Structure 1
Amino acid sequence: MAATITDILIILLLAGSVGYGVMISRRVQRLMASLEELEPLVREFSQAVDKSESSVNALRDNLAEGLAAQHDEPVEDEDGAPAFSSRRQAQRRLPGVKVVRGKQDLVRRFFETSRSESRA
């Protein structure tokens, strides 16, 4: 009697495990299908990030060259003698602009933003 109850309990637990495995398998299949649909969008986004990163680097280089050209001209005081400024210029921060260190952070922020917008 006890052996029969134990066998039935084991069979029920195994059936539950198999059922749970099937359910998880279907969910993974749906997830993979939705990821395949998103692949072209993610690829385009990645290319846009690469392009914007190269544009920002080009702008930074152009800005550095422009600042270097400005600072190559000697600064003179009222008497016409060479002078220098002992103060650094404060870095300007644009309102609403967040600093992103790399491509991975930018992609992560994109998905966080898209998730928050889809919930609203």
Structure 2
Amino acid sequence: MATVEITGENFQETVQGDGIVVLDFWAEWCGPCQRFAPIFEKVSEEHPDAVFGKVDTEAQQELSAALQIQSIPTVMMFRDGVLLARESGLLSAKALNDLMDQAQKLDMDEVRKQLEAQQAEQ
């Protein structure tokens, strides 16, 4: 699946959907982002059942600020509306595929129970 452009307008709708959503926060001037782009695209093609989106931090400054993106590239991975991972820096294809595998294996009912328990403690 080709990557989709994520903006402030479609962010919530995208990440709240069912399944896995992987977002790449990047900027055109960022060298590591440019090196990561083909890796992200390749992994997206290996996982057609997931949504892979790109967030241009220059064009989407409000969204980037709201998510506290402080270094790029940053990858955020959601499943069924739950943020599972946030990794900054240049990831290898293997590292990104490993994150995908871990996300696919999770029991999301158990994850939600753990989140509810954490929130109840606060």
With the shorter chain as reference, the TM-score category is under 0.3
If the length of structure 1 is used for normalisation, what is the TM-score? 0.24
* Higher fraction of helix: 1
* Higher fraction of strand: 2
Greater radius of gyration (CA): 1
Higher relative CO (CA 8 A, sep ≥ 6), structure 1 or 2? 2
If the length of structure 2 is used for normalisation, what is the TM-score? 0.23
